[in-house]
Structure 1
Amino acid sequence: MFLALAQYTIAEGNEADVLALVAELASASRAEPGCLAFDAYLKLGTDRDLVLIERYRSEADFGLHRETEHFARLVLGQIVPLLEKRSVESWVLPD
């Protein structure tokens, strides 16, 4: 199993837009054959720090996710420009 942990700091004033786009991204991503789960959480006490926890069957399935139309349109085209900071970490389930 493969896990992607994306941490976003939303630029001030863009909170509502990013949350709406992330909801659309989550819905589209959950429909992908290799996606096991896609959840977004706001950090307690803030409306600007967001973490996306994405689980895929494999690293290859995550790679396919990053090649989808919705990833290009939503993440790269709309979400990233509204962020102050973004990081993505990759994790695998040990054997």
Structure 2
Amino acid sequence: MENQNPVHVFATWKVKEGQIENVLHLLKAVHNESIKEEGNLFYKVHQSNSDVNTIVLFEGYSNEAAVAEHRNSVHFQDLVLGKIVPLLENREIVLVTDLKF
């Protein structure tokens, strides 16, 4: 059975040298489209204080289906996978679900 609890995404991107401005420009468009998604709770972009080429995304979705919808969206496929990922050295993604105690 699919998880119906909120899902948070932590993504850390290490941007290739000289590409940070391009990535940030594209990421602004991704942010603006992502926050319009029905299942999106928030989409926050952070830049490391110690390494300007490191971006951390903190995203919230209402459930796993909303995460899947985000990943299948035109803006994710075109901008993130098609244009941003080739500008990255490394990309790590962790999905977490709130535990109810």
TM-score by length of structure 2 reads 0.92
Structure 1 segments of 4+ aligned residues over 4 angstroms from their partners: none
For structure 2, the 5+ residue unaligned runs are 1-5
Confirm or deny that 1:59 pairs with 2:64: yes
**1:55-94 superposed matches below 5 A:** 55-94=60-99
CA distance in 2, matches of 1:27, 1:46: 24
Indicate the residue corresponding to 1:40 in structure 2.
Answer: 45
CA distance in 2, matches of 1:15, 1:27: 18
Deviation at 1:45, TM superposition (A): 2.6
Deviation at 1:47, TM superposition (A): 1.3
The count of corresponding residues between Structure 1 and Structure 2 is 95
What amino acid does structure 2 have at the position aligned with 1:83? L
Indicate the residue corresponding to 2:34 in structure 1.
Answer: 29
What amino acid does structure 2 have at the position aligned with 1:22? L
Kindly, what percent of the aligned residue pairs are identical? 33
1:26-80: CA deviation from partner (whole Å, max 9, x where unpaired): 1100000000000100010321010000000001100110000000001100000
RMSD: 0.6
What amino acid does structure 2 have at the position aligned with 1:62? V
> Residue 77 of structure 2 aligns to a residue in which SS?
helix
Whose radius of gyration is greater, 1 or 2?
2
